[in-house]
Chain A
């Protein structure tokens, strides 16, 4: 089955800087990748979906890229704010098993 990995368990950056989170996948490219945000004690909240034929997608201060050569997606938050502190999860559809699987997440902390 396919796997999805988020190599950075935690990332600490200063307010105002751009946060960049990495998601790598194995085997063949998924039809899409998704990014979610999770706050402590809450369920994940959907942020963005990027398809395999899209190089980049933006939503306000968020930007996601999809590189099928590197088998990687990058998630950027520009002009980061302390309120952006949360765990960010990437996810893909495991087409062989008809389910959506998640990476282990990156805990992002933005310090003032």
Chain B
């Protein structure tokens, strides 16, 4: 069974640009969560999508958005990039919603975004 696939692996952008990251979950998994990881802040929850609906959102500005398609694949978009957006963006899939009693996360390798 293929794991969680994230593309691209590395990305370099300049301030003010926008970026779209892609995530394909494990087959059969319906929940996709996104996390931002930086050395100073650790893993910070961005949002979770389940059945094409955003179920929860972390404390990030509206420049961060996402969506999920009917095949459970998900995209994350960041508009008007800032230097502080440089981070490893991780996508994780799980079988069901994170409110479940037994949900564990399966992570992709992430997209390393550098904003210059």
Chain A contacts to B: CB under 8 angstroms: 31-32, 34, 36, 41-46, 49, 89, 91, 93, 95, 97-105
Contacts and interface: CB of A to CB of B under 8 A. Distances in A.
Given A41-B110, A91-B105, 19 more contacts: A32-B101, A36-B105, A41-B112, A42-B109, A43-B4, A43-B90, A43-B107, A43-B108, A43-B109, A43-B110, A44-B105, A49-B104, A97-B56, A99-B33, A99-B45, A100-B33, A102-B35, A103-B42, A104-B42
Q: How large is the interface on B (under 10, 10 to 19, 20 to 34, 35 or more residues)?
A: 20 to 34
Contacts of A104: 42
A42 B9 CA distance: 10
Contact of B102 (A36, A42, A49, A97): A49
A93 B104 CA distance: 10
Contacts of B45: 99-101
Interface of B: 4, 33, 35, 42-43, 45, 48, 55-56, 58, 90, 92, 97-99, 101-110, 112
Contacts of B112: 41
Nearest to B6: A43
Given A100-B45, A100-B105, A105-B42, A43 B92 contact: yes
A104 B43 CA distance: 7
B48 A41 contact: no
Contacts of A97: 56
A84 B102 CA distance: 26
Nearest to A34: B104
Nearest to B104: A46
B99 A98 contact: yes
A1 to B, nearest CB: 10
A42 B107 CA distance: 9
B43 A102 contact: yes
Contacts of B104: 34, 46, 49
A45 B4 CA distance: 11
A50 to B, nearest CB: 12
Contacts of A98: 48, 55-56, 97-99
